Amino acid sequence: MPPAKDKSWSPYLAGALTGLLIIITTWFSGIYFGASTSFVRAAGYIARIFSPEYVSSNTYFQWFPPVIDWQFIFVLGIFIGSFVASITSRSFKLQAVPDMWKSRFGPGALKRGLVAFAGGLIAIFGARMAGGCPSGFGLGALVQLGLSGLIAFICFFIGGITVAKLLYHGDNDK
């Protein structure tokens, strides 16, 4: 059976449509894209099941109450949109661990899990310390043609490329 034809979206078209969506959303609602607060709200939502008095007395959860809001729906939409895109491009496959991740951190689930957990912890800690999602800041500032947004995105790319080179050195073939 011949391989399926690649029906993935052009990254240029997807980027242009995302930019257009950001501009339209900001223009009509005055709200900039961001997602990190939804994870904090979800954590509070789950914590409220086990200890509602702790959540109600916690100052942090008073600033970011555990509610389902537009950001939560936004993150859900990202998940659904990614799923639909992978199905329509015929690139969807169930895979517990990406091949490149497994080749770098080995077949053992414990090491991979610890590295992934540590990375997620650092990312969410940084996002909360910064008062929100750095990519949301960068996109919001770029929509306003802010130099700070351009500088932020340049730094994101430099940081991302540097970390990828450190983690995946020599794995260019995958």
Tell me the average confidence (pLDDT) per consecutive run of 10 residues in the chain, 174 residues long: 62 84 82 77 90 91 85 88 87 81 80 86 79 72 79 85 80 52
Q: What is the pLDDT of residue 6?
A: 61
| Total H helices, total E strands in the chain | 9, 0
Identify the pLDDT of residue 151: 85
Residue identified by tokens 């008062």 is: 131
DSSP string covering 58-98, please?
A: -HHHHHS-S---HHHHHHHHHHHHHHHHHHHTT-----SS-
The whole-number pLDDT of residue 1 equals 45
Q: Which helix (H) or strand (E) holds 15?
A: helix 11-29
- According to the model, what pLDDT value does residue 35 have? 77
Contact (Cβ atoms closer than 8 angstroms) between residue 23 and residue 139: no
